[in-house]
Structure 1
Amino acid sequence: MLELIELSKSYSGRPVLSNLSHAFRAGEFVAIMGESGVGKSTLLNLIAGLDTPDAGQVLVDGTPMSSLDDEAATRLRRTRMGFIFQAFHVLPHLTLRQNVALPLLLNREPAGRAEHMLAAVGLGGRGDDFPRQLSGGELQRVAIARALVHRPALLLADEPTGNLDPDTAAGILDLLRFEIRASGAGAIMVTHSRAAAAMADRILVLTRSGLNDASSQQKQERS
């Protein structure tokens, strides 16, 4: 589904990622942990084609992202990917229903599932509200509903429970896992939360030396 080949990225001469290679399997839910500033969010942006690597390749279903022009890359993101950003990126001039339905409308699909997803994140009946009426945690739930509404083949989530209380976070993680399983999607979740990471099939730790598999530690914590 997704392969990273010798991926490198620097900002202002400071290396963030260096010769990073890894393969992600279709239908797999992977959590990526690591210290702040190690490049976790940068990695998600490179995978999505929202940023370009200095060297190396990101292959999605065997297609190098660098081989796509802007229109093709946008089309791939719109149809195949879902994003949960730390900054939410909820559009303030649209209602909650319109925000969640946006991926469906862009893909020319029926918008009815937007109401279902709002209810699934605990915001049923609030489709006519505007983002200014919501708390940070509620805005994060809108962003999650929007990322899942079109059943993406690849979900990229950057701290999806960072603004949620523990009980709400647990419910959202259950929803993410259910939706991923139901659609056979792959998912990559960046998180600092061990509780969130424990929901994944596999845990990777990003360090300056690359991605290291921490699945054995995950199994010990679950036992």
Structure 2
Amino acid sequence: MLELRHLSKSYNGRPVLDRLSWQFKAGEFVSIMGDSGVGKSTLLNLVAGLDTPDAGPGEAPIIVDGIAMSGLDDDGATRLRRARMGFIFQAFHVLPHLTLLQNIGLPLLLNGLPSARATEMLDAVGLGGRENDFPHQLSGGQLQRVAIARALVHRPALVLADEPTGNLDPDTAEAILTLLQREIKATGACAIMVTHSLAAAKKTDKILNLSKNGLQETTIVNPFAQ
């Protein structure tokens, strides 16, 4: 579903990601952990086409669903992102002038899909009955749930989540991760979640650690286990 081929990114001459390679499979829920500043959010932005990798002529460092992101112009990248990806941002990016239902239903409208699933997803994240409320009426945790519902509503093939449970209480975080798991398995999507939460990472199929040495699969060991 997603292949990274020697992906590199530098800012002002400082390397953030250096020749990163990995293959992510459809139907796989993967978490990425690592120290702050190691490039986890940068990686998601590159995959989504929101930032541009360092690449030489003819190189294709990011392949999404068989399509080389480097071969797309801005319009092509936008169409691919709109139809095939769902992105959960740390900063929500919920549109303040739209109701909750309109925010969640926006990907359906842009992709010419039936609107009924927006109500279904609003219910799924525990905000049923608040269709006509506006974002300013919600707490930070509730806004994050709207962002998650919007990312999943059009059944994307690739879900990119940047700290999706960071603003949620433990019970709501557990429910949201269960929802992510269910949607991924139901649609065969690939999901990549950047997180600092060990509890969240343990809900995924695979945990990767990002460091200056690249991506490495890891097994988290409980130091208090007998």
Q: Calculate the TM-score normalised by the size of structure 1.
A: 0.96
Supply the AA of the counterpart residue of 1:83: F
Aligned residues: 222
Runs of 4+ in 1 over 3 A off after TM superposition: 216-223
Q: What does residue 147 of structure 2 align with?
A: 143
Relative distance call for 1:12 and 1:221 in structure 2 (3 A) is farther
Q: Give, in whole Å, the separation in 2 of the partners of 1:211 and 1:75.
A: 29
What's the offset of the Cα at 1:74?
0.8
The match for 1:173 among 159, 169, 177 is 177
Sequence identity (%): 71
Unaligned runs of 5+ in 2: none
**Deviation of the 1:12 alpha carbon:** 1.7
Q: CA deviation at 1:62?
A: 2.2
Counterpart CA distance in 1 for 2:11 and 2:125 is 36
SS of equivalent to 1:99: helix
Stretches of structure 1 that go unaligned for 5 or more consecutive residues are: none
**Residue 100 of structure 1: CA displacement?**
0.1
Partner of 2:30: 30
Within a 5 Å distance, the mapping from 1:131-210 to structure 2 comes to 131-210=135-214
Query: How much does 1:217 deviate?
Result: 3.2
Cα distance in 2 for residues equivalent to 1:208 and 1:220: 25
* Shift in CA distance, 135/156, structure 1 to aligned 2, threshold 3 Å: same
1:30-69 alignment to 2 at 5 Å? 30-55=30-55, 57-69=61-73
Query: In proportion to residue count, which structure has more helix?
Result: 1
Q: Is the alpha carbon distance of 1:152 and 1:208 closer, same or farther for their aligned partners in structure 2, counting shifts above 3 Å?
A: same
How far does the alpha carbon of each residue in 1:42-75 deviate from its partner, in whole angstroms, 9 at most, with x for none?
A: 0000011110001261011222101011111111
Larger deviation: 108-117 or 98-107? 108-117
